[in-house]
Amino acid sequence: MKYIQKNPHVRPYIQSLSVDLREATMNNCQPIIQFIRTLRVLPTLRSLTILGVHSRMADIFTTSLEDFSFPSVSRLTLDDYLAPIIPCFPNIQILSNTYGSGSGGWLLRTAGPCCKQLYEIHDINFNMDPLTRVLDDAPNLGSLSVQHVLCGESNRMPGKLSRLFVHCYLEGSTATDGDIGGRSGNSFCKPQKEVLVRRNSAFIISRHSKNPITLTSRYLPLNYYSRWPIRTGSGPPLSIIFLFNCPITN
């Protein structure tokens, strides 16, 4: 950030910025002050990632930003507990939760009412909250990427949502029924596959395969959501996967 302050000729060209504020403490707020000064001189900034803010500094960080607005930022990545600063970025279109920083539900609830252009949210953990209830906070959401547990009872995709990515885990990983998040101790299993749900179909997509495997009604009945295992007709069954009553192609 010091480089940006000392070289004003580069400021109009900076469109993406990632900042680590782990040095900010109760006794040293200078990194936060420097961060705000930097944002104020970047008129074309589009993407911002905020890392390293300790949860104990969240209130101070929020208070420091509350009188400012950064309308040029359309993509924001931050920790769940920094959700109160979202109103400072009213034109967010893509919002991402820093992995492992919480459910992301606070981000969603805060951004929904104040960011009318919000269209994509990434890395949210719903912890058994029905999808339809959560999406009431962001009715214009079109694309959603989630981790861990999902459940729901609606027979349609809610709101304007047309793309739902659910990270899931292959059977044989360390995920168990009593440990639904895909966790074993303090370590996380890496998602091996994704589910791409559209309004009229659902696909299992392997990260290492170019061809999606279409779920069929032979394995997953219409108007049904299930928790394990779901077999796709080829390969091992998935041990964690949640689909929201979406119509399944034959």
Over the stretch 150-191, which tens digit does the pLDDT of each residue have?
A: 444 333 445 566 666 665 443 333 322 222 233 333 233 344
Q: What are phi and psi of 29, to 5 degrees?
A: -95, 5
Residue 27 forms part of a structural domain? no
Name the residue with tokens 């779920």.
215
In a domain, 25, yes or no: no
In 3D, which of 77, 30, 24, 94 has the Cα closest to residue 55?
A: 24
pLDDT digits (tens, 9 = 90+) for 20-79: 999 999 999 999 999 999 999 999 999 999 999 998 999 999 999 999 999 999 999 999
Q: Is the dihedral of CA 48, 145, 214, 159 positive or negative?
A: negative
Cα separation values, 83 from 37, 77, 144, Å: 20, 10, 18
Longest CA–CA span in the chain (Å) reads 64
User: 219 lies in a domain?
Assistant: yes
Strands 75-78 and 47-51: parallel
Q: What is the pLDDT of residues 68-112, one digit of tens each?
A: 999 999 999 999 999 999 999 999 999 998 865 667 778 888 888
Measured between its terminal Cα atoms, the distance across the chain in Å is 54
Q: What angle do CA 82, 73, 20 make, to 5 degrees?
A: 50
Count of the separate structural domains present in the chain: 1
> 230 lies in a domain?
yes
Flag whether 158 is in a domain.
Answer: yes
Q: Three-state SS for 213? A: strand
Overall pTM > 0.85: no
Q: Give CA separation, 170 vs 43, 44, 221, 231, 245, in Å.
A: 45, 42, 21, 11, 21
Question: How far are the Cα atoms of 58, 137, 244 from residue 144, in angstroms, in the given order?
Answer: 26, 13, 13
Q: Which of 229, 233, 216, 213 is nearest to 171 (CA)?
A: 229
Asked whether residue 154 is assigned to any structural domain, the reply reads yes
Residue 64 lies in a domain: no
Instruction: Determine the structural domain holding residue 231 and report its residue range.
Output: 126-136+150-250
Residue 73 lies in a domain: no
